[in-house]
């Protein structure tokens, strides 16, 4: 099985938030995890904003190590054009649209989409993904 992991789900691995335990269980339950390269930027930005500076270097190493075990989708022309269409049709933000387009690019039947962002979850469901998290 394969699961696409949105930044909101991965962030819970590094910053204690509501649903962090559920996110950890979902990430551990699937042997094949995929995300977009934009997740690197989103997660590192939010970690830097939310944690104490003395913890940042260790968390950066952990993020890099964790993402080395993910398959990463490049936001190439195909993904960006698909994201533009999704954004226009569903009214989601640019980064959410890139995540949805990246997941769609995989063309995996029954793909799970792990997110803790309610608006992202609604959009993912409307595109036919099996949403986990919210």
Is the pLDDT at 1 greater than 90? The verdict is: no
Q: Compute the C-alpha angle 62/67/73, nearest 5°.
A: 160
The pTM for the full model equals: 0.94
Domain locations along the chain: 2-133
Nearest to 39 by CA among 115, 122, 132, 128: 115
The residue-averaged pLDDT of 35-56 equals 96
Distance CA 21, CA 111 (A): 22
Q: What is the pLDDT of residue 134?
A: 87
Q: What is the pLDDT of residue 92?
A: 97
The residue-averaged pLDDT of 112-125 equals 96
Is the pLDDT at 104 greater than 90? The verdict is: yes
What's the burial of 120, exposed, middle or buried (CB within 10 Å: 0-12/13-18/19+)? buried
% of the chain at pLDDT higher than 70: 100
The residue-averaged pLDDT of 12-32 equals 94
Is the pLDDT at 9 greater than 90? The verdict is: yes
Q: What is the mean pLDDT of the chain?
A: 96
For the domain bounded by 2-133, which CATH number is listed? 3.40.50.1010
3-state SS of 6-73 is: CHHHHHCCCCCCCCHHHHHHHHHHCCEEEEECHHHHHHHHHHHHHCCHHHHHHHHHHHHHHHCCCEEE
């Amino acid at each position: 099985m394969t699961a696409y992991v949105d930044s909101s789900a991965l962030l819970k691995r590094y910053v204690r938030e509501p649903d962090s335990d559920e996110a950890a269980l979902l990430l551990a339950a699937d042997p094949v995890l995929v995300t977009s390269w934009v997740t690197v930027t989103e997660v590192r930005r939010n970690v830097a904003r939310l944690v104490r500076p003395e913890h940042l270097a260790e968390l950066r190493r952990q993020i890099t190590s964790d993402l080395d075990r993910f398959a990463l989708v490049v936001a190439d022309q195909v993904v960006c054009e698909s994201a533009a269409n999704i954004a226009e049709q569903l009214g989601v933000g640019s980064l959410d649209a890139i995540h949805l387009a990246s997941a769609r690019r995989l063309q995996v039947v029954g793909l799970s989409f792990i997110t803790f962002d309610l608006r992202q979850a609604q959009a993912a469901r409307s595109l036919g993904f099996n949403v986990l998290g919210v």
